Amino acid sequence: MRFYDRQQELAALNTLMGQVNVRSRMAVLTGRRRVGKTLLSLEFAKDKKHLYLFVAKKSEALLCEEYVAEIKRLFPDNPVIGDIRSFSGVFQFLLQIARQESFTVIIDEFQEFYNINPSVYSEIQKLWDLNKSKSKLNVICVGSVYSLMHKIFEGSKEPLFNRADRILMIKPFSIRTMASILRDYKIKDPEVLFDYYLFTGGSPKYIDLLVENKAFTFEKILNFAVDANSPLLNEGRNLLIEEFGKEYGTYFSILELISVGKTGRSEIQSILESDVGGYLDRLEKDYAVIEKYKPINAKPNSKAQKYKISDNFLAFWFRFIYRNRSAVETGNFDYIKDMIRRDYSTYAGRVLEQFYRSLLAESGRYNRIGSYWEKDHQNEIDVVAVNDMKKELFIAEVKIKKAKVDLAGLKVKAKTLVASYPKYKVEWESLGLEDVPVAF
């Protein structure tokens, strides 16, 4: 699959590169695994002089041996004096070369230095502060353990706090980008676009796997995802265990409950029979795995709130793969497929609501987008969008089959909501899967 999208991120990186003649610059690319951070950094650097340094899980001395070999290859006229066995020595050497010419160095899996030698970050800070104004080095630090990257560059007590010129949070592809990818493969079926949104969450890696395997129908996607040899079966575990550490079991239990619709803190606590406030807070703020959301017109201090898993792939994985892990372990994949087919319509209905909220966000027409409900979850409304400047209110009910939408009932449910926007023009809409072509 060719490189798609990321124009804003590439523009930001090019802007920094254009400033290195004044002083060295540092950018950070973060976001969860499989979202395309490494590919983005290499796409940016492909027509520029650059070094790519991968921080593998091995000794610092062996890493430096690899790095020095790469430096010698790119800069054969710069002699290496002595035996460099520490990353601080490598970094100092790069800064010295950059006094003569500008170039880019990409340091991938930057957070791994925590496991190899945590003092590397203090050493980089010292060298950076002493040399950045004299050198023309463009540094791109790439990291996929979100919590550690957040700590390294945004923790106020960390040595590299405030050292990065830009921190770019790389997100999954938008719906419109997914539609563009499918068009390139001659696929214009809106149901396929929605299934890709539901299964992959916009992750470039998962989309690449599906298109490589010509999985362009629901059944082909399902057969690829739920198979003894599928790379997706253990993906949720692989993505998150390193983030969560030894307490991953509790985090996984919470995420499993959210995936099946137990979205309130009190619901989760009553099932797990323990206080989960701290876990929910860390899942949201430290790991960026869940999001907290409230009715669209709720006050900031309102306790009316729910949680959702931020990434569609992880939501699917916890709902159908992790929840049926016994079937996975016994190899009963037909059972899991039958379970998905049985529950797909109900599950997809909730995802379709999110799909339309995402489309409205991409349209740029509204400054607030969400859903609505009243006390005890009464009068729930799937999609609400507000343009406060133009005083416009968009209210929609979403069903997989549009014919099932009760527009008259929706207007009854929305009476209190509409009353809180007395001077707004209200647009009512019923939305189904057949309305998805707007994304194409």
Q: Report residue 321: phi and psi, to 5°.
A: -90, -60
* Domains in the chain: boundaries: 7-169, 175-225, 235-330, 362-439
Q: Which two tokens stand for residue 428?
A: 């009512």
For residue 403, count other CB atoms closer than 10 A to its CB: 8
* 224 compared with 301, residue with greater pLDDT: 224
Strands 306-309 and 290-293, by their bridges, are: antiparallel
Instruction: Look at residue 438 and tell me whether its pLDDT is greater than 70.
Output: no
| pLDDT score, position 91 | 97
User: Which residues are CB-contacts of 198 (< 8 A; sequence separation ≥ 6)?
Assistant: 312, 316, 348, 351, 355
Q: Express each pLDDT in 219-230 by its tens digit.
A: 999 999 999 999
For residue 332, count other CB atoms closer than 10 A to its CB: 13
Instruction: Look at residue 24 and tell me whether its pLDDT is greater than 90.
Output: yes
The burial of 58, by beta-carbon neighbours within 10 Å (0-12 exposed, 13-18 middle, 19 or more buried), is given as: exposed
Q: Express each pLDDT in 142-182 by its tens digit.
A: 998 888 898 999 999 999 999 999 999 999 999 999 999 99
**Are residues 234 and 322 in contact, defined by beta-carbon separation less than 8 angstroms?**
no
**Are residues 25 and 17 in contact, defined by beta-carbon separation less than 8 angstroms?**
yes
Could you say which of 3.40.630.30, 3.40.50.720, 3.30.70.260, 3.40.50.300 is the CATH number of the domain covering 7-169? 3.40.50.300
| pLDDT score, position 440 | 46
Quick one: average pLDDT of 77-103?
A: 91
**Are residues 179 and 439 in contact, defined by beta-carbon separation less than 8 angstroms?**
yes
Q: Is the full-model pTM beyond 0.85?
A: yes
* 308 compared with 439, residue with greater pLDDT: 308
| DSSP reduced 3-state for 396 | strand
Q: Express each pLDDT in 384-402 by its tens digit.
A: 999 999 999 999 999 998 9
Closest CA to 353 of 407, 409, 413, 397: 397
Which CATH fold topology does 235-330 show?
A: Arc Repressor Mutant, subunit A (1.10.10)
Q: Express each pLDDT in 261-281 by its tens digit.
A: 999 999 999 999 999 999 999
pLDDT band at 437 (very low <50, low <70, confident <90, very high): low
Mean pLDDT, the chain, rounded, equals 93
The burial of 290, by beta-carbon neighbours within 10 Å (0-12 exposed, 13-18 middle, 19 or more buried), is given as: buried
For residues 343 and 261, what is the distance between their CA atoms, to the nearest angstrom?
A: 13
| pLDDT score, position 376 | 81
Residue 50 β-bridge partners: 104
Helix, strand, coil percentages for the chain (3-state, nearest 5): 50, 15, 35
What is the full DSSP assignment across 122-186? HHHHHHHHHHTTT--EEEEEE-S-HHHHHHHHH-TTSTTTTT-SEEEE--PPPHHHHHHHHHHTT
Q: Express each pLDDT in 61-89 by its tens digit.
A: 999 999 999 999 999 988 877 789 999 99
Quick one: average pLDDT of 420-427?
A: 95
For residues 228 and 237, what is the distance between their CA atoms, to the nearest angstrom?
A: 16
Residue % of the chain over a pLDDT of 70: 99
pLDDT band at 439 (very low <50, low <70, confident <90, very high): very low
In Å, how far are 71, 138, 177, 223, 229 from 320, measured between CA atoms? 47, 43, 26, 14, 17
Instruction: Look at residue 330 and tell me whether its pLDDT is greater than 80.
Output: yes
